[in-house]
Amino acid sequence: MKITWQFLFAHPAHFLALGFGSGLSPKAPGTVGTIASIPIWLWLAEQPLLFQSSFLAATFFIGIYFCDKTGKDLGVQDHGAIVWDEFVGFWLTMMFAPAGFLWLLVGFCLFRLFDIWKPWPINYLDKHVHGGLGVMLDDVLAGVFAGLLLYLVSIFVTF
């Protein structure tokens, strides 16, 4: 199904689930959506850890609704254009990262790797948990895996 700009603006949940329009990219919408989440991360990185954690929890739970509503309206549970899950998963990855552009780049690559590769148990959740929770959960777990690996790398590597 080709998603129109009219659909994007038809409901606030669509606008957010589709990553402010970044999910409409004809090529690699998950990657484009992750890129679109970077400016928000740059702002979020300047906030205290308690705020970051609260923000991530709120965006995760609200994202369940956004992604569920948009998936139902599209008739496809986890349509490729739904990228809010990439936003939240990437932000979670970056909570494990030291500050700096190179760490942002490494975090981006690791998150995309885990999000695309979907090793166990990410692939299990992707196949067996449905609705908005399923859309969000596999990317959040990819964010945890990528974040933990990023943290381990940061212990041994300095940029």
49-79 tens-digit pLDDT:
999 999 999 999 999 999 999 999 999 999 9
Supply the DSSP string of 131-142, one letter for each residue: HHHHHHHHHHHH
Q: What share of the chain is helix, strand, coil (3-state, %, to 5)?
A: 75, 0, 25
Runs of H (alpha helix) within 18-100: 29-44, 49-74, 84-94
Q: Please report which confidence band the pLDDT of residue 39 belongs to, taking 50, 70 and 90 as the band edges.
A: very high
Residue partners of 123: CB distance under 8 A and separation at least 6: 138
Mapped onto helix, strand or coil, the DSSP state of residue 99 is coil
Q: How far is the C-alpha of 29 from the C-alpha of 108, rounded, in Å?
A: 14
For the stretch 78-127, pLDDT in tens is 999 999 999 999 999 999 999 999 999 999 999 999 999 999 999 999 99
pLDDT in the model for residue 147: 98
Residue partners of 70: CB distance under 8 A and separation at least 6: 11, 13, 14, 17, 18, 79, 82
pLDDT surpasses 90 at 158? no
Q: How far is the C-alpha of 10 from the C-alpha of 18, rounded, in Å?
A: 12
pLDDT surpasses 80 at 136? yes
pLDDT surpasses 90 at 1? no
Domain ranges of the chain: 5-156
When computed from its CA atoms, the radius of gyration of the chain, rounded to whole angstroms, is 15
pLDDT in the model for residue 54: 98
pLDDT surpasses 90 at 2? no
Average pLDDT on 34-49 reads 98
Chain-wide mean pLDDT for the chain? 96
